[in-house]
Amino acid sequence: MILRLNLVQPCGFNGEHMKRIYLDHASSMPVDPRVFKFAKPYLTKEYGNPSSLYSPGLEAKQAIEESRKKIAEFINAENEKSIIFTSGATESNNLAIRGTALRNLNDGKEVAASAIEHISVLNPMKELQKNGFTFKTIPVDSTGTVDLEKLENLLTKNTTVTSIMYANNEIGTIEPIKEIRKIVHGKGRYLHVDATAAAGFLPIDVQDEGIDLMTLSSNDLYGPRGAGALYVKPGVKIQSIMPGGGQERGLRSGTENVFAIAGMGEAARIAKKEMKEESARLRKIRDKLINGIKKIDEAYLTGHPIQRLPHHASFRFSHIEGESILLNMDMYNIQVATGSACSHKTLEPSHVLLAIGLKHEEAHGSVVLTLGRSNSIEQVPFIVEALRDTVQRLRALSPLVKER
């Protein structure tokens, strides 16, 4: 079967003025030019292997250690030794969950996660379940906030790892980490927090918040792809899940990606310095965007209305598909997302939207808009108008509307 898409220039829009408006920063961020300038020498000049003892290798090693210190300062870690570099958030999540669960077998064979965790958290726990572990799913309410009472009831002394994300990448809801920490440490053992969506937008203090393990991603900080980090609190027992040459304290073997790691450290330094001002700027754009989109007929905000990421706006639209909205918005040169960027390989609705109580047909009509440094408040009227035009045009073609 051949699928033909006849993309027609939207009515009322002049293509000469349709500059790109990128609204999918939760999926991928551009590398900050300052970060690229800082890290570029490690692509071209400083090419030594960090494990080598001659001067180019020692220079590469120094770059990694300087980045480790920047990341530690970014999250107020106890020391730089608590930072383990990985290839990205997925590997960090796997190392945190599988590495901790397998290392602490004698303390119990239970793991737990909220129902709205990223699949790179849920799938490792399902793998553990196949190997004799008990995997418990913690429900959330209609805003995506973890049900604290059910969390407390589900955890036991045998629950070695509980994973709750700092904020959700699909619906923007910020979780009450301090309250969750008290329950996890009172009933179970270690708390892992996936902070991929929140880092750089919200101040994070692992010591004050009592976090045992935390995942970070370079590209979600305007750094290069190919690097991530796992914070491991001193004293937390964890083992490698990928044996090899013994790099990163023996927990993550493989020659380090010096360019990406150096870039990640610099991206974290910039984010820490500019976060307060930038988040306040994005929050104003977000609020204007939400207020404008809510005026579209049968547009419903998903996630918490107040406790949400400052750059995040997510909606569902009745009677139309999110993928159709995405493709039509791209005709305006506006890039948005629908559900998780990692779940589009299937036709199933987002597990996050189902977990907050949406029906299958409702979950299919989701749109996620995540702002970044390239966005401005002047773009909002054009975005809202383009989305309204898109929704109206798609509904006019939808058999679901005609059946009502």
**Full 3-state SS string of 58-75:** HHHHHHHHHHHHHHHHHH
Residue 219 CA to residue 199 CA, distance in Å, equals 11
Quick one: how far is CA 168 from the chain centroid? Answer: 7
Residue written as tokens 């129902």? 115
Distance CA 206, CA 13 (A): 48
Q: Letter for the amino acid at 49?
A: N
CA distance 199 to 221: 7
Distance CA 154, CA 243 (A): 33
Tell which residue, 254, 226, 257, 228, has the closest CA to residue 240.
254
CA distances from 319 to 9, 240, 295, 299, 399 (A): 23, 47, 17, 11, 8
Give the β-pairing of 299-301 and 312-317.
antiparallel
Residues 6+ apart with CB under 8 A from 392: none
Active site residues per annotation: 342
Angle between helices 258-293 and 380-397 (to 10 degrees): 70
As given in the structure block, the two tokens for residue 308 are: 């949400």
* Strand pairing class (159-163; 312-317): unpaired
Which H helix or E strand runs over 322?
A: helix 322-331
Q: CB neighbours of 198 closer than 8 A, spacing ≥ 6?
A: 165, 166, 167, 174, 204, 309
